[in-house]
Each structure stands twice: as structure tokens, then as C-alpha cells.
Structure 1
Amino acid sequence: MAEYANIIVDIFNEKLDKTFQYRIPEAMKEKLTLGMQVYVPFGKRNIKGYVVELTDEPEFEVAKIKEIIGIVTDSVPIESQLIALAGWMKKNYGATMNHALKTVIPIKKKSNAVEHKSVRLKLTEIEAKSELAEFERKHQKARVRLLSALIENPQMDQSMITQKLNVSGTVIRALETMGIVEVVSERSYRNPVSHLDSKGYHLTLNEEQQSVVDAIERDLDQKIAKTYLIKGVTGSGKTEVYMELIAHMLAQGKQAIVLIPEIALTFQTVMRFYNRFGDRVSIMNSRLSPGERFDQFERAKNGDVDIMIGPRSALFTPFSKLGLIIIDEEHESSYKSETLPRYHARETAIERARMCGASVVLGSATPSVESYYKAKTGEYELLELKHRVAEKPLPKVEVVDLREELKAGNRSILSVRLQELMEDRLKKGQQMMLFINRRGVAGFVSCRACGHVLKCPHCDVSLSQHVTRQHPEGKMVCHYCGYEIPMPKTCPACGSRYISGFKAGTQKIEMIVKERFPQARVLRMDMDTTRNKEGYEQILSAFANQEADILIGTQMIVKGHDFPNVTLVGVLAADLSLYVSDYHAAERTFQLLTQAAGRAGRGSEPGEVVIQTYQPDHYSVQAAKEQDYEAFYEQEMEYRRMLLYPPVWNMLVILCASKQEQTAYDSAKLLVQEIDTWQENIKAAMERVGEDFKKKRVFPVGPADPAVAKVNDIYKKVIYIKTKDYQTLVELKDRLEHYMRDNRAFKDTVVQFDFNPMSGF
């Protein structure tokens, strides 16, 4: 049992990286847990604080450490649960408690509140007229104006008084001091969805949707908390199922969190929820101002909203009556954090639900291999929606071999077949979407004479070409550190003029499409065109209102959107995500192609999809063409089993980063030696008691260079570790953290852990 507790005394006003250590009294040792609120001596008074860590190691002289006074029993605020969740994240994903706390309680300081002030008359009309006569006698004109207005209207906005009546705050305070008026302040919360106009809800579930809802509601009514996976083809109406389940929870006085993968989904998704639930809905995302974010945090705590929608950070909404967490498009890699702690929203949601007895619903047309594996093995309950709403057919999918296009003399990024279909749709007044998984103009710029590739001097990556209004000649940008140079006219290595970019991006495609179809109205949606706060909403609204014929974009356009007039989707380069150095490559490609295809034919007209690729026979492309998830899953699992990748086994990646390449390598080498020592000790201990060592055995690989071995002059080395049992990796991580804590060899190295990574370091 732990001897000491590290405690945060005030979540909002103290810096989160400042904890204070207290001794745990003997009587409390068995009761005290992470997240509990306790009374502690602080200066000359006793105050409340939260337990954020339990430890046996004193941080300073033992005699000076004060003792915890008691446990707070009268209330258990939502912060306690979130702090306990932060403790779980620290343990399971490898980070400091400080990192975990900053993730689960993102609002660290109270932002300036928006206050609504009004001035109210405290006197009767007779008393007020008497005072007015006195002000008139003394020629106090400002006081006369104010009191005359208040006799007419006994309560007025302070802003109206100061602006319209030209009465200063000094005059108002003077009348307040005299007891004639009082200033009333009300906290006004910013509401990011207040501008929406509800159109009401008029949908009825079909038989298949209703059966899924019934299955989950039976468990909810019996207080059975589970994790469900809804596998529903694109256009099968998963959102209506989510809303029905939320309505059921709201009727029981419970609250719900809906996670979505991209900010781009917020507008359409929120609109559908707002039409049904009105002001009980709010959103949380990175594009809100700090003030707006703080207000949503407060509204959730105060019970002013019951449904929070947003990307993974919305998972930490401080709902005290949480009953349901929904994760839409659960296969999305954006649910895995790329910063410490490298948590996965799906696993963290399941843990938060466990803490408060809630249920979790995962939904996708193309579930992650990990989730489908868990559904197949019974860890999740699998529910399926096999048909589109109103029995609309799935779109017809054609695969175009770009090698054959080149042989036929077509050097355009648009195949002949795709151009024919685009021409047809423009004549019919129908809309289309062109998807490419790349932004900007080019993937890299190289010299065709000597082969020299322009690289960032600070990072181990090629520079990307961008053309903007400010740089019509083009500029070269590093997407890792932001380094920029003008586009060179000659090769810096050999002086040749044959230097240009390869692999067209969204910007280049926009230029090609406008040139080929000058009559078409074209919109482009990527990170460059959606930098401002309303960028997504403006582009999606314009396309939904049919103000454009063609929407060109990166993967943000293919996820979850519902445009009934879109009858053609073109996937311009299916291979771009196929051969990256990541074991998820085939899965990502299949998901993107299937999701892209799912945008077509959602209205009254049937849809067509053209997938352009250099690898038409690849199993992920073929499975996407047939919209056959099962065929893809079986093939993919064969590879995962053969190579011992997740979800069959578990993987831990350890990153060592330093300003000196040799230092990073030496640190990684020391960790590999410690892993070998730990493994030998475990093996010896298990053999002594006659246990099978196989289930605890780990297989380390490395140190090795990651895909990008240098970023911003920081060198990286990685170690890959595979084993069957996840908890073994957690134990190993704990051992390595302990080993590094007092080891001077790691003073110039940053070490990070990533469990079952979604992408490389």
C-alpha cells in the first residue's frame, strides 16, 4: 500500500504541473484511491484537493511531509472520475500524470466570463419621481436621463443605458450607492450552436434499424452495460439509430457523448442532432475559442446540455450522469492521440463507461480490424445494418487501371472513363466528388536530370511544393517543421532546369478540372482552404446548397457526409495510401475507398464510383470494389496472424529522441539490454513455479530508424516489441520507466511509449 499521495489543491487556479505531497494516515491506506477528494492542510488553512498519484517514494524530507486530514464524503464531483481516468491513462499508455491530467481536464484556467449586466430601479414610482425632481432642480442631466428612462422601464440593459442614453458607469454607480438602483449581473454562456435553425425531426426507423435499437435498449433498460459494434453499410442510417438511443437515455435522465473523427463532420452531424434535440446539444472542438470551450465545459457541468458532440477531446466532457458514449466511424486513425499520452479514444471510452456504468456504441461501415476481431471473439456485441435506407442500391464501382491509360497515351490525372462520366453529370445538373489523399501541389520536387530531391535541412523528409496568391511561382515547405524556401528554377545539385514536382495534390487537380471543364463550378476542401474557424461549414454549406458542381478534397470529404445530389465519386489515386511503411496500409486503403464510394447515390438517383489505381488486383481494391468487408477482413487477418501484428498480438513502440544521433542510439541500446534482463528474470521466476513462460515472452526488434529519422534537428531511434499479452507490455513499460528514472544516461534523451500504434513515430 502506498505511503504518500500527490495532490492537486485547485484544478482551475493552480498550474497543473504543481502537485503537493502528503502522508496517508494508516486508517486511510485501504480506502484512498486515485481521483478522491480529500481535506489537506495548506498554509494556515485546511482546503480540498484531488489525489492524482499514490506512491511509496517521498519527494522531500519525510519529517516535513504533512498528513491528509480526511476524505470528502458529502460530494463526489465529476473531476474525481476524470482524475481517476487520467490515472488509468498514465498507467496504460505511458506518460506522466501531468500529461494525462492536461488531456482529461483541458480547461486549466477560467477564461473571462461573458456577463450580462442590467440596471434595475429599487424605488417605487412615487419615490423615484421625488428623486427625479431633486435631480432636475440641481440640473444633473445624466441622472435625470437615467431615472426618467427607468421610471418608464424599471429594468434596462446596462449597455443600452451607456450607449443610447449616454450615461457613464460613474453615474450608475452613484445612483447604486444612493440606493436608487441596483446592477444585476448574470453569467452568459457562449453557445457555439446558437446560430443553427432547427427544422424539426420527421424520420421513422426502418425494420432493420429498429431491431438494432431494440437489442441495445433491452440491455439499457436492464442496466446491462456493454460495448456494441454496429457494422452498417454506407447510407444504412446509423445516425438515426444513434439519435434513437440517445432519446431513450435522455428520457431516463442520462447524458450522452457522440465522438466524430473530423471537425469537418461537425456541421452536418450537429445539424441532424440539433433538429431533433435543440439546445440540449453542444459541440466541443479545437476550433472553439478558449472562452467558448470553457463555457461548454461549464454548461455540461451545470446540466444545461445533455449531448456533447466532437472529436476525441469531447470524451472528457464533465457529465455527471453519463449513460452512453457513441463513437461514429470508429475505424478512424484520428481517434488515436499523436501526443502524450498516446491514448486511443475507443479503449479510453470503454474505461470511462466502466467507471460510471455507461454503455459504448461503436459504428462504422468499415470497422477497424481490431474492433471486428473483438466482436468476433465476443468481447463486443456485433449488430449489423446490411441495407441502405429505403433499399437504395449501393453504387456501381468501376476500377480503372492507370497503367493502361498511360499505354493509351492519356497522361492526365483524370482517366478517359472518369472524364466521360463527369461530362454526363454536368449535363444532368448532378454533383460529383473527386477524392485524393494529398493536399497542396506536389508530394516532392526532384531533378529529372540527376535525380536530386529537395529535402528539408532540419528533417529527414522531402519538401512539398505549394502555389499560393503570395507565391505564384511556388514555394517549398516542410510539413514537419515549417521550413520554407522559394521554388528553385534550377537544380541546386547539377544546375539543370529539369526540376519539377510529382504526384498531383488537390490544388493541382483543381487547376486541371477547371481547365478541362471551364463551365463547372468547383470547390476545393483540404487543410489549406479550411484554416479559418468557419472554413468547413462554409464549403459544406455551399456544396449542400448546390452552389458548386464538383467538390475536390482530401479524406475529410469522404467521411459521413450526405449529399443527395452526388451521383459520381472519383478516387484519383487509390495507391497513395497503399505502400506507406505501416502495417495498417491495406486496411486504410480499403476503408478510404469504401467510404469514398459510399458518398455516391444517397439520393433518388443511383450512384457510380470510379477508382483509379496502378494496382487494380490488390485485395483491398478488389474488396472495396465489391463492397465486401468480410472478404477483406479474412485476407487481412491472414497477414496479421502470419506476422504477429495486432489484434492477434500486441505491439509497443518505444521512441528515443535526442539532439545527438549517437545519444539516441545508445539510449535505445540500453533499453534493449534492460528488456533482455527483465525477460531473463521473468523466465527464471516462472520456471521456478512451473508456469509456462510463452505467454509472457516478448520479441524486441531494434534499435532502428523510424520512417522519418530526423525532425527539426532531433534524431529518433525506435524499438518495436511484440507479445501476446497487453498487460505484459504495461509491466515492461513500468519497469523501463523505473530503470530510466535515476539513470544519468537518459538525461539528454526523451523516451516515449506508444501501445498498438496507428502510425509510426
Structure 2
Amino acid sequence: MERKTLFIDVILPLAVPKAYTYRVPNKWNDEIEIGKRVVVQFGSSRLYTSLVFKIREKPNSVYEAKYIEMVMDKSPIVTKNQLLFWEWIASYYLCTIGEVMNAALPANLKISSETILIAETETFTEGIELSNNEQNILALIRNSDGIKLKDLSNSKIFPAAVKSLIEKKMVYTAEEIKNSYKPREAIFVQLTPEFNSEEGLQKAMDLLSDKEKQLEVLLAYINLSNFFQEDQKLLKRSTLLKNIERSAPALNPLVKKGIIRVFKKEISRVKTLNSKVKPLPELSDEQKKALDLVQTHWKSKEVVLLEGVTSSGKTLIYAHLIEKMLASGKQVLYLLPEIGLTDHLISRLSVYFGEYIGVYHSKFQKNERVEVWQNVLNQNPKAGRLIVGARSAIFLPYTNLGLIIVDEEHDSSLKQHQPAPRYHARDAAIMMGKILDAKVILGSATPAIESRWLAEQGKYGWVQLHSRYGNIKLPEIVVADLKKERAQKSMKGAFSTMLTNLIGHCLDHQHQVILFQNRRGYSPIWVCQVCGWIPKCTDCDVNLTYHSFSNQLVCHYCSKTYLPPKQCPACGSSRLKMPGYGTERVEEELKELFSEARIARIDLDTTRSRLNYEKMLEKFEERELDIIVGTQMISKGLDFNNVQLVGVLNADQMLNFPDFRAFERAFQMMVQVAGRAGRLKKQGMVVIQTSFPDHKIIKLVIDHNYSGFYRSEIEERKKFMYPPFYRLIQITLIDKNKSRVHEAAELLASSLRSKLKQRVLGPEFPYISRIRNKYHIHILLKLERSMSPVKVRDFIQEKMNEIHAIKEFKYMRIFADVDPA
């Protein structure tokens, strides 16, 4: 029987416009499947992990296909539905499918010619059969302490031998070694078996009857571990020592007597994920009606918008929907806009769903992400059935997805900006729901204008919650007039008299306070009071921000740092002033005003580690902190029972931003941060500091009037041809030479106008046009919703390719951002 010659089209993890065709050696014909990884040579010598996209028997007529180097998988790691989803993202967001693959696959599932192979030193070859080729390769790798994959690729014995060694765990890639999973451990204390009963405990107390300090430790252990209760728990050593205000040696006598043992135990990075779960709380009457209405809408519509005021109990409705989906054997995806929100949410959901939960986002270690990927792909009956994650979680290989929850669906963090694909996770999730036949629910107290409009048009189901859970009143929102306070000279730094007094009142009554200032650093600007000189970044067209913690001037665009000048370099004056407030300065002034208060700052500078952010929120939840000062990281999704006051320190910053979405974002941000106040029993208070107390957006926020805001905003959008009535595509060109990038942009805009006419606006240099010594210029397209998206995108791609084909513009970066946020 004649064997077939197979050719495969593969997706390379590169920004190449098409899939490339390779030839399959006959011996691997039976191993080739769509979705498997194969190693291929691309270019002169580099090797890449690619994905099998299509299988066919006809060769490519344009070029002679090279042979693949290796089949890496026993079974596909990507599903056919995933590949359909990737194709849609590449087409809709005007990028290549290779860029989608690069974003989708965890790093440890990718391998390239720069990858280093290392022999596993702890593996012994006894009992493991190795061919001569495998032995030779293994010896070569061991003798060189690691060797690059590309240095082996010229050998004829390379593909099969290396693949076999990897499968036999004799060889690992350097990435696996470098980023290997290290379990988190904690030190626990526990009564030894002899004393771990009521009789044994009495025996221990008799032994310690004349040892007062040791008896104190034992009694503290009994109390903290719930010893006499059914839910007796393991106790961390640190918790015990903190309670008795002692150091570790205080336990030594009890350990020597054999009463207590101290041991290390691996703990999960996710809180309390155990098999003991509680039943879900009962829904209120309004929540029950909302839940029923959601399920009714799903009979005729795939997407439902759940619009509910802050603290209305949307999460509990999600939980009841999750419970039903898990009971039916389905997978659930719970998307959040911020990585930092995952731990806070999981601490709530794990009480009900325990070990079903899997977490997936970019801050997790690479091997952990691969484990979650495999759990989802293989439909692990428990782990990973409920995935909680940020936007990258939409790329997991779901095989039985039943429900997608997009929480805080209005949030701009759901939009990916750099690098490609520049997708919006909410819109991508809706498309994924269509491909996988999964239901989608979008939730927000302040829905995106586009989502609310689609709900009104009947495209989405629409369910509303008008009151807070437990009939708690929405917070009272008041305005502090900064213009009046400054005129009266009654401001205390960044704080109005009203806000200062209310903070003091809250602290006196042991309530907590959240203060919102959406600007990090100490001061956003330095200025010479004599000549007006302002320090700027040498590589970007931006003013430098002063950070007092590091005593540096920092560019927030390229991260370049500078030492603060002692005098003005322009006129020599030492009269340098720092107007304006960042979170560092607010924190400093708070400590001066309320010296006894326990204050923490949450912004990008203090929470670069996911664990730092988690610890701060945990401290605040445990009431170990009185005041949190933060940027937008504190404005959404957090639920703290003891917060009685929220202060917005400068609303004018948000209102005066030059963007058509400025009012929408300002309204959403203020309503969301206000929603953190008074979530348990007593009505909360919100103070908005502004120089424009009569501004229409401020008044709408005070009245909690989202519908009024929506009506006002939708008229403006219609009048000036913005979404949802028009689709936007922004094309950006980037080059080191300002005149060259302007010339290319003019040429591209002119070419686009040949068909799109007046729909093409620009080109224009943005307010900040130079970043990292490269000039950016924008062309904006406003397109009617009735226009064919596919034809328009094909036309745009064609015109961008034409610019790239011109020799002087060959290396210029040109990309399109579809639906810019």
C-alpha cells in the first residue's frame, strides 16, 4: 500500500501574514493532528514551535516545502474551536494569527532555536533504554552544561532523539528549569498525637501547671485552632506567635516535651481551596427575579447585560449560575478586568466552590499556567472547572464551556493595547461564546455606553437590580468646593475642611476610609518659579514625575529615571516648586494630619508583586489598616464591610481629559469608587473634591443617576459620530524620523480616502507624540455600522501593506487598533 505524502500548514509565533506549508516525513504521518505542536525551521537556521493548522496532500505551488523537525505532542494542545477563535481575532483586530498564538500559548509551551537544552542531573539511566543516538545527544548536552537547540538541529539524528529524551524526562528546556514551579510553604504548629484529644490535652495542662508562659502558649493554640469545635483547623506558627506577642523560641519547650510539633506544609497560592464548601446564601426577592429573568433571556439571546447598583449582589447571582453550570458538568469562565481582583474574588468564591476553581493570568508562574491549561484541555473533573482570570484567560482550551461571566464589563482594562492582538476581552468573550455555544453574562453598575445601547436595541437581554443587597442605602455623596476652600485658605494640603473632619470622625468611631487619587508618584511636575523651566524626559515628550520614595524623577512612559536637580539648569535659581499631588504626597500629608492612623498606599509602585497587593487587601479586610490611598486599582470590585467614607481627591483631573470617553470614564470611576462605602449596615459617605461643583457629571454622580448620564452621553455620541453609532479604527505609524513618519501617514491617509472619503480623519500627531525617541502619528477612521467590516478591514490591510512595500517605509511600524478604548 502506497503511503500518502502529507503537507501541513502551520501557525508560527511570528507576525507573518500567512500560515506556512511544511512536509511531513512518512514515518510521522500517523502522528500529525490539527492542534499539535511541531518544530520547524523558518528562515536560514532558526527553529520555532509551530501549530498544525491544516493538513493536506497537495504541496504549496509557490515554494518547496521543508520537512518538519519534530512532532512534540502525543495529543493536540489546542482545539479546533480555539483555532476558529484565533482566526476571528486575527481578522477582526487586523493582526496575524501568529501574534494571536504568541499571546495565547503559555511561554512554556513555546520553544525556539534559542532555547537551551539541559540534561536532568538527578535522572539515572539505569532501567531506561536509550538508543545510541539518544546516548550521544545526552552526552553532548551534559558535557557542554547545556546546548542551544539550533546547535543540534543540523544533525540528522536530532529530531527523534531529542523528542525521545524530552519524553523520557532526561532532558528539559532551560525555560522549564529557570521558571520551575516552587510551591509556597508555611510553618504550622499542631498537638502531637499523644496530646491531640481531650484526655491528652488535660494531661498536657497537668504537665504545664507550674509553667505559666508555656501554658499561655498552649491555651492560645487551643483557642486559635478551634480545638473543641468540629471545624478544627491547622494553625500557622506566625498566627500563634503574633497572638501571644512572642518569638519562635517560645515554642521550643513545648516541642522538646513532645506536646507540640512544628512542621512545614505546602499551601495553595489560592486561599482556602478545599473540598469542604458551604451552601450558597439565599437570594433576596429582587435577586431571585433577576436570576429567573437572566435564564429566561438566555432562551432567545446568547448575551445578557446584568446592570445593578454597587453592592446589589451581582456576584451572588453569578455564584448561583455557576453552581448550576458545574452541576451540569460544564466549564465556567469568570473574567475580571484587573489581575489584582482575582485573589479578592477567589477568597469569596472558594467558600462555595473550593477545588473547582482555577486561576489564570500573566502574573502566575509559567509552569502554573501550563498546569491550568492542561486541566482545562483535559476536562479535569475538579480542578479548573471554574476559571477565574484576567483577559488572557479567554485563550484557554475550553472543551465544554457553558458560561462566561464578564464582570465590570465597562472597564477599559479589558482592552489589550500592546502588543498585538489589540483585542477587547468583553467582545472576544461574546464571540467565543458563539463558537462554543456558551451563555454570556456582562455585569456592571455602570455599563459601557455601547453595552447599554445594545441592550436597549434588543441585541442583549437586559436585567436590572435597583437596590443594594439587604436594602442598605446607597452612599450619600457630597461635594467639597475646592475653589471656595482655596479662596478661604482653609485647605490642609490636598484635603478640604469637610473631608479632613469626616476622616477624623471615621477614625474616632473605628471605621475605615478609602481615598482615591488617580495619579501615582509624589508630584506630577517640577517647575522653576523664576523662569518656568519644567524637567522633561529626554526620550519622550512628557514631564517627569517626582517619586519621593526613590528620590527620582521618573518618566511614566519609558520608565527612564533622572536625579532631581538642585537648581534650575536654565536660570540657576534654586526656587523649584512641586505643584500637584500624587499618591505618595497624599500619603505623606495624611500621616502628618492623622499620626495615629494606620495608612497604606496602593498603586503600581507598591504592588508590582501580586502578593504585595494581596497582603495589603488582606490587612485592610482584617482591619489592620485604617486608611488606604490608591489609584484606580481600589475603585472596582472590592468588598470591605467597615468602609464608611470614600474621598475622591480631585475629580477635575478625570473630567478634563481630552478624550470622547472622558465623561463616561469619570462617571464610572466616581460611581465605582463611591460604591466601596457603606456596604454592610450603615449608609456610607462619599466626598468629591472639585472646583466645578455644578458640573453636569458631578450632579449625575451625586444623584446616582446612570440612566440620566446615559441619555446625555448617547445624544452626544450620535451627534458627533462616535460609538455605538459608528465604529472606530485608529491606525498608528511609528518611526524615529518625524518628517518621514508624517510623509508616510499623509500617503496612507490619502490612499484610504480613495474609498472611505470623509470617514478618514488626520493624520495628526497626538499630544504626546514622541515616546522612546520614536514619533507616533494617528489616522482615525469613523465607519458606519452598516459597512461591511470584512471588506473594510481587507481594504485597510491592503493599504498598510502598500506603504510597507515602499523602500523608505519598509521598517516603519504600522498597526491598526480596532475599537480603541
**Is 1:443–2:519 an aligned residue pair?**
no
- Comparing 361-370 with 408-417, which one deviates more in the overlay? 408-417
Partners of 1:423 and 1:194 lie apart in 2 by 34
1:132 matched residue in structure 2: none
Q: Call closer, same or farther: CA 1:706–1:625 in 2, change over 3 Å.
A: same
1:247 matched residue in structure 2: 323
1:712 matched residue in structure 2: 772
1:630-659 superposed Cα distances (whole Å, 9 cap, x missing partner): 111111112211211111211111101001
Q: Call closer, same or farther: CA 1:110–1:720 in 2, change over 3 Å.
A: closer
Does the CA-based 8 Å contact 2:731-2:780 persist in structure 1? yes
Structure 2 residues without counterparts, runs of 5 or longer: 1-5, 24-32, 42-48, 69-73, 112-116, 125-265
1:96 matched residue in structure 2: 96
Partners of 1:749 and 1:294 lie apart in 2 by 35
1:159 matched residue in structure 2: none
- Comparing 588-597 with 640-649, which one deviates more in the overlay? 640-649
Partners of 2:62 and 2:638 lie apart in 1 by 60
**Is 1:577–2:659 an aligned residue pair?**
no
Q: Call closer, same or farther: CA 1:368–1:5 in 2, change over 3 Å.
A: farther
**Is 1:341–2:421 an aligned residue pair?**
yes
1:280-320 superposed Cα distances (whole Å, 9 cap, x missing partner): 00111222111111111122222232111111011112221
Match for 1:449: what amino acid?
V
Does the CA-based 8 Å contact 2:763-2:778 persist in structure 1? yes
Partners of 1:746 and 1:450 lie apart in 2 by 41
Does the CA-based 8 Å contact 2:568-2:576 persist in structure 1? yes
Partners of 2:17 and 2:728 lie apart in 1 by 33
Give 1:312's match in structure 2, choosing from 391, 397, 410: 391
Q: Call closer, same or farther: CA 1:201–1:446 in 2, change over 3 Å.
A: farther
Give 1:386's match in structure 2, choosing from 441, 466, 469: 466
Partners of 1:736 and 1:665 lie apart in 2 by 16
Q: SS where residue 444 of structure 1 aligns?
A: coil
Partners of 1:609 and 1:510 lie apart in 2 by 19
Q: SS where residue 253 of structure 1 aligns?
A: coil
Note the C-alpha offset of 1:427: 1.1
Structure 1 residues without counterparts, runs of 5 or longer: 25-34, 69-73, 120-188, 680-696
Note the C-alpha offset of 1:729: 4.0
2:444 matched residue in structure 1: 364
2:363 matched residue in structure 1: 287
2:574 matched residue in structure 1: 497
Does the CA-based 8 Å contact 1:50-1:80 persist in structure 2? no
- Superposed, 1:67-466 pairs within 5 Å as 78-109=78-109, 192-193=269-270, 196=273, 200-218=278-296, 226-304=302-380, 305-339=384-418, 340-411=420-491, 412-466=493-547
Note the C-alpha offset of 1:53: 12
**Is 1:650–2:713 an aligned residue pair?**
no
1:584-641 superposed Cα distances (whole Å, 9 cap, x missing partner): 1111110011011111110112101100011222222111111100111111112211
**Is 1:750–2:813 an aligned residue pair?**
yes
**Length, aligned pairs only:** 638
Partners of 1:248 and 1:675 lie apart in 2 by 50
2:594 matched residue in structure 1: 517
1:418-463 superposed Cα distances (whole Å, 9 cap, x missing partner): 1111111111111111111111111121212222211101001111
Q: Call closer, same or farther: CA 1:554–1:66 in 2, change over 3 Å.
A: closer
Does the CA-based 8 Å contact 1:16-1:102 persist in structure 2? no
Q: SS where residue 442 of structure 1 aligns?
A: coil
Q: Call closer, same or farther: CA 1:118–1:228 in 2, change over 3 Å.
A: farther
Partners of 1:520 and 1:216 lie apart in 2 by 45
Give 1:626's match in structure 2, choosing from 699, 703, 714: 703
Does the CA-based 8 Å contact 1:110-1:294 persist in structure 2? no
Q: SS where residue 203 of structure 1 aligns?
A: coil
Match for 1:341: what amino acid?
P
Using the aligned pairs only, state the percent identity: 34
Query: Normalization by structure 2: what TM-score?
Result: 0.73
Match for 1:81: what amino acid?
N
Q: Call closer, same or farther: CA 1:52–1:346 in 2, change over 3 Å.
A: farther
Partners of 1:109 and 1:242 lie apart in 2 by 32
Partners of 2:564 and 2:488 lie apart in 1 by 33
Partners of 1:77 and 1:645 lie apart in 2 by 41
Does the CA-based 8 Å contact 1:323-1:359 persist in structure 2? yes
Q: Call closer, same or farther: CA 1:587–1:19 in 2, change over 3 Å.
A: closer
Note the C-alpha offset of 1:79: 2.8
RMSD: 3.3
Does the CA-based 8 Å contact 1:53-1:97 persist in structure 2? no
Note the C-alpha offset of 1:85: 1.3
Does the CA-based 8 Å contact 2:733-2:812 persist in structure 1? yes
Q: Call closer, same or farther: CA 1:553–1:63 in 2, change over 3 Å.
A: closer
1:136-163 superposed Cα distances (whole Å, 9 cap, x missing partner): xxxxxxxxxxxxxxxxxxxxxxxxxxxx
Match for 2:727: what amino acid?
N
Partners of 2:460 and 2:775 lie apart in 1 by 41
Does the CA-based 8 Å contact 1:40-1:67 persist in structure 2? no
Q: Call closer, same or farther: CA 1:599–1:605 in 2, change over 3 Å.
A: same
Does the CA-based 8 Å contact 1:190-1:295 persist in structure 2? no
Match for 2:530: what amino acid?
A
- Superposed, 1:681-696 pairs within 5 Å as none
- Superposed, 1:514-593 pairs within 5 Å as 514-593=591-670
Partners of 2:54 and 2:22 lie apart in 1 by 14
Q: Call closer, same or farther: CA 1:484–1:602 in 2, change over 3 Å.
A: same
Does the CA-based 8 Å contact 1:600-1:608 persist in structure 2? yes
- Superposed, 1:3-82 pairs within 5 Å as 7-8=9-10, 21-22=20-21, 50-51=52-53, 62=62, 64-65=64-65, 78-82=78-82
Partners of 1:585 and 1:516 lie apart in 2 by 33
Q: SS where residue 610 of structure 1 aligns?
A: strand
Match for 2:432: what amino acid?
R
Q: SS where residue 577 of structure 2 aligns?
A: strand
Match for 1:50: what amino acid?
V
Q: Call closer, same or farther: CA 1:92–1:190 in 2, change over 3 Å.
A: farther
Partners of 1:53 and 1:671 lie apart in 2 by 37
Q: Call closer, same or farther: CA 1:664–1:633 in 2, change over 3 Å.
A: same
Note the C-alpha offset of 1:363: 0.3
Does the CA-based 8 Å contact 2:270-2:343 persist in structure 1? no
Partners of 1:352 and 1:452 lie apart in 2 by 52
**Is 1:735–2:798 an aligned residue pair?**
yes
Match for 1:600: what amino acid?
A
Partners of 2:358 and 2:753 lie apart in 1 by 50
Q: SS where residue 608 of structure 2 aligns?
A: coil
Does the CA-based 8 Å contact 1:477-1:483 persist in structure 2? yes
Partners of 2:437 and 2:270 lie apart in 1 by 29
**Is 1:701–2:761 an aligned residue pair?**
yes
Note the C-alpha offset of 1:737: 3.8
Does the CA-based 8 Å contact 2:542-2:555 persist in structure 1? yes
Note the C-alpha offset of 1:78: 4.5
1:488 matched residue in structure 2: 565
Note the C-alpha offset of 1:15: 8.3
